[in-house]
Amino acid sequence: MEKEIENIQKYVRAANYLSASQIYLQSNFLLENKLTQDDIKPRLLGHWGTCPGINFTYAHLNSLIKRKNAEMMFVLGPGHGFPAVQANLFLEGTLGKYYKEATVDEKGIGFICRNFSWPYGFPSHSSPGAPGVILEGGELGYSLSNSFGAVLDNPELTVACLVGDGEAETGPLATSWHLSKFLSPKRDGAVLPILHLNGYKISGPTIFGRMTNKDLKALFTGYGYKPIIVEGNTIDEKMYRALDECYEQIQKIKNEFDEADLKHDFPRYPMIILKTPKGWTGIKKLKGKKIEGNCLSHQVVGTEAKTDKEEFKAVKKWLESYNFGELFQKESGFVSDVRDIVPPAHLRMGDNKHTFGINKESDKLILPTAEKFMEEVPTPGFVGSSCMRRTGAYLNEVFRLNEGRNNFRILSPDETYSNKIDQVFETTSRVFAGPIKEWDKDLSSTGRVIEMLSEHSLQGIAQGYVLTGRNMVFISYEAFIQVVASMADQYVKFLRVARDISWRKDIPSFNYVLTSSGWRQEHNGFSHQNPGFIDNMLQMHGDFIRAFFPPDGNMSLALLKKSLESKNCVNIIVAGKTQEARWLTPELVRENVDKGIMIWEFASEEDPHIVFSAVGEYLTKESLAAIEIVKKEAPEIRVRFVNIFEINASGIGSKENNIPLEYYFTKDRPVIFNFHGYPETLKQALFDAQNMKGRFSVHGYIENGSTTTPFDLHLRNKTSRYHLAIETFEKMRDEGVLDSEKASMLIKVYKQKIDDHRQYVKQYGVDTEEIETWQWKKNI
């Protein structure tokens, strides 16, 4: 062990030098000549403080991998420590596999140093451009949940997750310690959390860094772990032994833990609490201020080294202290002692096969046809089951067809039953790797549905699962998916870059199903009425982000299949769980699903005076009810109905649909839109439509909610059939289609209906029978 420890220390010295040189040097990378201020970059960017701890950890993990012939992946929480990640990818040769300039020689060192934090070079944070990376780490808190997602259904894999002590203060990270309780010891891999306590954030101490060892052990023992603290003198020997012990504990759990043990306790996985100084091995003091072991080493130390002689002198002395010439020779590269720490090519963490996407045929889903689960539609408006009941039936079949292939999961925050997809429990169950009581329902340690009241944790698991090549659906109440809006934004940024990197393979799409929408959350009230997630996602440019609004259960099945078949996308399906009308036959669905928009002939006439258009199940119903009112009261008005069921950042309808919008909306007739979300979201999608201003009006959710009745919610937000009919009468009067006197009379009648309905719900607490029992009567 003594020789191996010595080699580890040399490897860490080399990695520390490479980390620091990336931040500072634009030339003289081997310090062959006397270092001058001309060798310093003009703009110093990056983070130094966490890098030494990362290098220390990576080196020891490499040593463990070689000793145990282990398959391991590395996930870094503090992604701003990217100089260290890049240094290790370079040292192990993985970077050179994907960037031909990153040869393990002098030229390669120059390449990584010149291009770090440089325009059109490597960014300052971990990114998809770095092999082995599945987490950017700019926004902190997601490393552990991503790691747990990666090991699900990968029994041979161990993920070493380095969690920063600043990151550990975030809410999402705090919750994700519990995710070990969803791992099946036999079917899943394992996560080895390494909590890195260097004691400081950007400008002050961390909470964990000031806690006593006794309290730290108590906390993580309570979370269900077996914590090992590594610190102080002979820290290399302690880390060496700690990793051996952790590895053996993990193997024991996987080999010996069985279902009988779960009746008494959750498996207790090991973890390491690593204590090293912030900015370890760097500048100790500068201009009278403590640097190493303090927050002042967090980012760039000596930011004015290019122009300030005192700061330059300190940086020069620091870089020279690593004696890099002892570790790297210009003619032959790194010395054998450093190279000895690097695992064989097939075991290098930076080139772990799971980090690149779909790797094997079994990663791909076997999908049933959507038509198998569609309902017949004798006439438009025929009432069938809910979109979510159809979804549950379809997903149950997906589980059945892929049984034993371990490539599909559903995640939901305690809402599988509420969201009406519990038919999946005919084939699988909810996973719970701990004590299960005899009265518990649909729970087992081998279930494929994960329920946890933490949207953050579920989002993180889903990201780790998808980025390692497997398939999932994340089902949530629409209002509360907003909790992970920022996480989703980070994921989309990662995906946007990854899609353009040739050596990253396809990954399954990230599929959201949003249900319990605000339009049917009138019983829960204002807090449950929020369609903002759709708005947030559609703000991000890229037609790989697609929002689907099926108008009925048949279309919801087709869109679900389309989403599960797709790759490298983010799909959002907005589906209701109440029993509603069926409008589209299986044949119509099949003909139109890839267009994203269609004219409904049964509710349309030739050469219309006005066009109605709806987005979303409940808004479609109100629009069709408005059409029926218009045709009853003013049959001289010719109408058309256009249903939109796909919106992306490029506009409405799918990108494959080349039919111009004027085909659907005419060139010059007024159009009344009724939209599921905020009106501004649809207006953005319609921005480039021909002659939009003046003839397009958009109704939608305008933040007017409460505990009320379903139809009163439409009245409050002016998306009701009455509001749409009134606007139609006004527009047709102005267009000269409708007699002015008749229009005034009709407007007065339906304004009164609005007032009458409000009084009715105040008195009786329910909608009128006219609203409750409405069904589409006949084709136009």
Inside any domain, residue 346: no
Number of domains composing the chain: 3
Q: Residue 347: is its pLDDT beyond 70?
A: yes
| CA 357 to chain CA centroid, nearest Å | 15
| Mean per-residue pLDDT, 113-119 | 96
Residues 570 and 675 in one domain: no
- Contact present, 68 and 81 (Cβ < 8 Å): no
The pLDDT mean for the chain works out to 95
Radius of gyration of the chain (CA): 30
- Contact present, 162 and 77 (Cβ < 8 Å): yes
Q: Residue 85: is its pLDDT beyond 90?
A: yes
Residues 648 and 613 in one domain: yes
Q: What's the confidence (pLDDT) of residue 542?
A: 76
Residues 557 and 460 in one domain: yes
| Mean per-residue pLDDT, 666-674 | 96
Residues 390 and 333 in one domain: no
Residue 638: which CATH number? 3.40.50.920
Q: What's the confidence (pLDDT) of residue 692?
A: 64
d(CA 719, CA 485): 26
- Non-local CB neighbours of 455 within 8 Å, separated by 6+ positions: 413, 476, 480, 481, 483, 484
pLDDT tens profile 712-739? 999 999 999 999 999 999 999 999 999 9
Helices 740-764 and 710-717 pack at an angle, to 10 degrees, of 130
Q: Residue 632: is its pLDDT beyond 80?
A: yes
Inside any domain, residue 589: no
Q: What's the confidence (pLDDT) of residue 649?
A: 81
Residues 275 and 391 in one domain: no
Q: Residue 137: is its pLDDT beyond 80?
A: yes
d(CA 428, CA 167): 35
d(CA 269, CA 181): 10
Q: What are phi and psi of 83, to 5 degrees?
A: -55, -35
Helices 455-467 and 143-151 pack at an angle, to 10 degrees, of 50
Band (pLDDT 50/70/90 cuts) for residue 690 is low
Q: At which residue do the structure tokens 């003289």 appear? A: 28
Question: Considering the chain, what percentage of its residues have pLDDT values greater than 70?
Answer: 99
Residues 128 and 269 in one domain: yes
Residues 574 and 602 in one domain: no
Q: What's the confidence (pLDDT) of residue 656?
A: 84
Residues 333 and 365 in one domain: no
Residues 184 and 260 in one domain: yes
d(CA 342, CA 8): 10
The whole-model pTM stands at 0.96
| Mean per-residue pLDDT, 565-583 | 95
Q: Residue 487: is its pLDDT beyond 80?
A: yes
Q: Which of 553, 582, 611 is the last residue of a domain?
A: 582
Q: Which of 340, 371, 404 is the last residue of a domain?
A: 340
- Contact present, 184 and 446 (Cβ < 8 Å): yes
**Structural domain of 317:** 2-340
d(CA 188, CA 354): 14
pLDDT tens profile 438-477? 999 999 999 999 999 999 999 999 999 999 999 999 999 9
- Contact present, 193 and 161 (Cβ < 8 Å): yes
Q: What share of the chain is helix, strand, coil (3-state, %, to 5)?
A: 45, 15, 40
| Mean per-residue pLDDT, 48-72 | 98
| Mean per-residue pLDDT, 236-243 | 98
Band (pLDDT 50/70/90 cuts) for residue 216 is very high
Residue 141: which CATH number? 3.40.50.970
Inside any domain, residue 777: no
Inside any domain, residue 587: no
Q: What's the confidence (pLDDT) of residue 541?
A: 74
Inside any domain, residue 353: no
d(CA 682, CA 687): 9
Q: What's the confidence (pLDDT) of residue 539?
A: 87
Inside any domain, residue 546: yes
78 against 1, higher pLDDT: 78
pLDDT tens profile 609-629? 999 999 999 999 999 999 999
Inside any domain, residue 471: yes
Band (pLDDT 50/70/90 cuts) for residue 159 is very high
| Mean per-residue pLDDT, 470-497 | 95
Q: How many CB atoms lie under 10 A from the CB of residue 317?
A: 11
Q: What's the confidence (pLDDT) of residue 257?
A: 82
| Mean per-residue pLDDT, 39-50 | 97
Residues 475 and 439 in one domain: yes
Residues 252 and 368 in one domain: no
Q: What's the confidence (pLDDT) of residue 431?
A: 96
Inside any domain, residue 350: no
Q: What's the confidence (pLDDT) of residue 689?
A: 67
| Mean per-residue pLDDT, 1-28 | 97
DSSP 528: G
Q: Residue 230: is its pLDDT beyond 70?
A: yes
Q: What's the confidence (pLDDT) of residue 691?
A: 63
Band (pLDDT 50/70/90 cuts) for residue 362 is confident
Question: Considering the chain, what percentage of its residues have pLDDT values greater than 90?
Answer: 90
| CA 752 to chain CA centroid, nearest Å | 47
Q: Residue 687: is its pLDDT beyond 90?
A: no
Residues 391 and 319 in one domain: no
Across 77-91, 120-134, 168-182, 537-551, least confident range: 537-551
Q: What's the confidence (pLDDT) of residue 693?
A: 67
| Mean per-residue pLDDT, 532-552 | 91
d(CA 640, CA 120): 51
